[in-house]
Amino acid sequence: MTEQSQGLAPYRRIAAKIRQRIESGEISPGDRIPSVRDIVRDEGVSTATATRVAAVLREEGYAQSIPGVGTIVTAPKKLTTGPDRLTMLRAGGDGYRPGETVEILSSGLAPAPEEVADALGLEEGEEAIQRRRIYRDEDGVVALSTSWLPGEFAEAAPELLNTGPLPKMTFGLIEERTGRRAVRRRDVVAIKEVPDDVAPLLGITPGTSALSMTNRYWDQRGDTTEYAIDYLGTGRNLSADYDLD
């Protein structure tokens, strides 16, 4: 039992244990989760408590009930956000999850719209670097991401204006070339109407409401280094775990 699960209600503590087994690969997608009878026997809880375990796993996207089969493990569609990629990059990875790919759709200087200009400290219409990319995995489109960066970065890192892959992703390249390290971020999650130029890439109708996530990063001087707007692919969920102690 982990320290985090000690204060949970019994059914949530048991669900957390099963979730850990799923995430470790001990229980695979398609396998049945422990039955109510098994949970009662192994955990020493009541039938009512054991029955609630499956509901928690279904709610979290780790299981689904199939008539005549029972409750089986599912593989939830993972969403990798910009902050996730930064964490993975700093941990020595390449910023991508296994099986995930990225296609740079466009990159270059473009007039900053009002929202972007305010974030980057520019005048509306002033040129900024715009990079648009689409992330995919085995389940399809993860997200369509558009990043805006100060135009001055193009001098130190001209690769930002090309659609080729970057040697260290955007975060790493900016830090290496300018010394401006992202030290703070703000995430804003909202339901937005998908713009006309984004909808076809997500396979949906323009104007459809979709989940979006806006990330803003500040450097050690308090200046914005990147402003990114992501539209999530169909069926993607945002989730986060926090230590409260």
pLDDT of residue 115: 94
Reading the block at residue 208, the tokens are: 């459809």
pLDDT in tens, 71-99: 888 765 555 556 565 565 555 555 555 67
Q: What's the rounded Cα separation, in Å, for the pair 185 and 241?
A: 17
- For residue 7, report the phi and psi dihedrals to the nearest 5 degrees: -90, 5
pLDDT in tens, 57-70: 887 778 888 887 78
Boundaries of CATH 3.40.1410.10 in the chain? 82-232
Residue spans of beta strands (DSSP E) within the chain: 63-66, 70-73, 101-111, 127-137, 140-150, 184-193, 209-218, 224-232
- Matching CATH number, 10-73, of 3.50.50.60, 1.20.140.10, 1.10.3720.10, 1.10.10.10: 1.10.10.10
- Matching CATH number, 82-232, of 2.60.40.10, 3.40.1190.10, 3.40.50.410, 3.40.1410.10: 3.40.1410.10
Cα distances from 238 to residues 43, 170, 179, 190, in angstroms, run: 31, 22, 31, 11
Which range, of 6-10, 178-182, 234-238, 240-244, averages the lowest pLDDT? 240-244
Boundaries of CATH 1.10.10.10 in the chain? 10-73
pTM of the model: 0.63
